[in-house]
């Protein structure tokens, strides 16, 4: 992975953490792990014919301000990027740095 750009949004009392990833790989498939309402999901990253990727914005997590105890001030978010090539899988955890809503 070459670059991650993290940001947050807030709308109608919901806070969302989002990330955009871009770069290149020698893997056959890339995925991004997502979180929301306590459920872990996986989103595929589209690779072009040269195995480059410029992923659309991926929503990593969301929370409702009133009921979830959203951190006041600064917080950090993480996600896992999985690179799959044949039967091999490489997992890289990436961190956002400090964010706020």
Name the domain count of the chain: 1
Domain at 42, CATH number: 2.60.40
- Least Cα distance to 34 among 79, 98, 3 occurs for 79
pTM of the shown model = 0.82
Q: What six digits make up the tokens of 61?
A: 């997590």
State pLDDT tens for residues 15-58. 889 999 999 999 999 999 988 767 888 999 999 999 999 877 88
The maximal CA–CA distance of the chain, rounded, in angstroms, is 45
Q: Structure tokens of 51? A: 């195995």
Q: Which domain holds residue 47?
A: 3-99
Q: What percentage of residues in the chain have a pLDDT greater than 90? A: 50
């Amino acid at each position: 992975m070459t670059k991650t750009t993290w940001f947050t949004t807030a709308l109608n009392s919901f806070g969302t953490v989002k990330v955009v990833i871009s770069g290149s790989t020698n893997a056959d498939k890339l995925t991004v792990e997502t979180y929301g309402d306590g459920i872990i999901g996986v989103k595929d990253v589209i690779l072009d014919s040269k195995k480059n990727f410029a992923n659309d914005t991926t929503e990593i997590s969301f929370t409702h301000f009133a009921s979830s105890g959203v951190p006041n001030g600064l917080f950090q978010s993480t996600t896992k990027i999985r690179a799959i090539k044949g039967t091999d899988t490489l997992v890289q955890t990436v961190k956002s740095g400090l964010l706020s809503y």
